[in-house]
Amino acid sequence: RPFQLSIQGSLGAWCSQIPWWDASLKGWSGCSHIVIPKIVDNFLSSEQAVEYASRSFFQFSVLKKLLEEMNFDNYVKYISKYEKFVKSWIQRCLIDHYGEKRSLRDLEKRILSTIINKIKGILKNSINKNNNTVSAFLDSFCKELQQDLVISCNSLVGVQFKSTAKIEQLSDNIRTFLLELEQQILTQFNHLELDTKLSNLSVKPRDEIFKRVFGCGKQCPFCKAPCEAGGTDHKEHFVSVHRPKGLGNFRDRDSQKLEHSICSSDVVSNREFQTVATQGKFHPFKDYRHYYPDWRIQPDPSIDASDYWKFVFKSFNDQLARKYDAKEADLPRDWKNITKEYALRGLKQGFYLKK
């Protein structure tokens, strides 16, 4: 009995060092490679995740939701801080999906059960390797376990045995302790906030999902429209239809009125631009690639902005001017006739959606 208590006391101290049990971390950082794929796959297989089917459909879903809400601050965040906005959007969707504790608790139990069974299998393998000493058994156990969990064998220095007859008993006591530990972990998880669980993983589930729908994330230096080239392995960025530049805080150099023209027209005009890249100097739009060589803007004056962004611009013209400390844009008269219905139709057309 004293022998068993000695083992369990040392094992308790050791197991408390396993990363998923670290109370200060409050997460599963030591086994993120096991946890994250399951969290992501579970989310992406749900009905709620249909908007993540492709990068284009995700963009459509976000813009459609923004149109429904017509919240000025959210539009500004989307336009000016696109990456941060998208990550926050995904995080909210994850929290909504796992908002019911039961759904997350079931997933936690499955993940933890997988890890516990892995440890049990390693215990059995360590015994079958005919280790002659407890020290050799523990070394073998730790080395195999480190393939799946980040742990330290140094925390087992208090477990000192010399009798080779006790290896099986040590293994049995570890298995017994695992049953208690599993329940303790699940109890602790049940009292943690969902956002804490997701945020304290070494790799964030939202970041893994983000990679699938974000593209390269580069924005047009003039209108702030995101690059449409898939992934990150491309040499040039492009946008099919650019937005009115005033949405991205571009203004006329003389009147200080926000601009409603789009980049495709400007790059074939005699107009000039001024950005941080030009160090405050004005430069011809025609030669924009001198400062932005990795961007290719289609030079076509016949291309017009979509009704979606025309509607957004005309709806928030005065608020944009105040936000950017500029003057309101002189918008074309026909923009006043664009309704939210027309804006939604234009959005669907832009993403080639009929319904």
Give every CB contact of residue 181 below 8 A, 6+ residues apart in sequence.
15, 21
H/E stretch holding 272: strand 272-273
Which alpha helices (DSSP H) does the chain contain, by range? 2-15, 32-44, 55-69, 72-80, 82-97, 101-128, 134-145, 167-190, 194-199, 205-214, 263-266, 307-315, 317-324, 340-350
Give me the mean pLDDT over the 229-257 stretch: 88
From residue 6, alpha-carbon distances to 152, 170, 181, 326 in Å are 20, 10, 17, 74
Would you tell me how many other CB atoms lie within 10 Å of the CB of residue 50?
A: 11
Q: What is the pLDDT of residues 250-274, one digit of tens each?
A: 999 899 999 999 999 999 999 999 9
Domain residue extents for the chain:
1-214, 245-350
Q: What is the pLDDT of residues 3-60, one digit of tens each?
A: 333 334 444 444 444 443 443 233 355 555 667 787 888 888 887 778 888 888 888 9
Residue 147's pLDDT is 65
What is the distance between the alpha carbons of residues 315 and 353, in angstroms, rounded to a whole number?
24
Give every CB contact of residue 122 below 8 A, 6+ residues apart in sequence.
141, 144, 145
What is the distance between the alpha carbons of residues 63 and 251, in angstroms, rounded to a whole number?
24
- Percent with pLDDT over 70 in the chain: 80
pLDDT above 70: residue 1: no
What is the distance between the alpha carbons of residues 253 and 326, in angstroms, rounded to a whole number?
11
Residue 10's pLDDT is 45
What is the distance between the alpha carbons of residues 197 and 43, in angstroms, rounded to a whole number?
15
pLDDT level of residue 196 (50, 70, 90 thresholds) = confident
* Range 200-206, long-range pairs (CB < 8 A, 24+ positions): 200/25, 200/26, 200/27, 200/29, 201/27, 201/28, 201/29, 201/32, 201/35, 201/36, 202/27, 202/29, 202/32, 203/32, 203/36, 205/36, 205/39, 205/40, 205/43, 205/94, 206/87, 206/90, 206/91, 206/94
- Return the bridge partners of 257, or none: 327
pTM: 0.72
What is the distance between the alpha carbons of residues 45 and 60, in angstroms, rounded to a whole number?
19
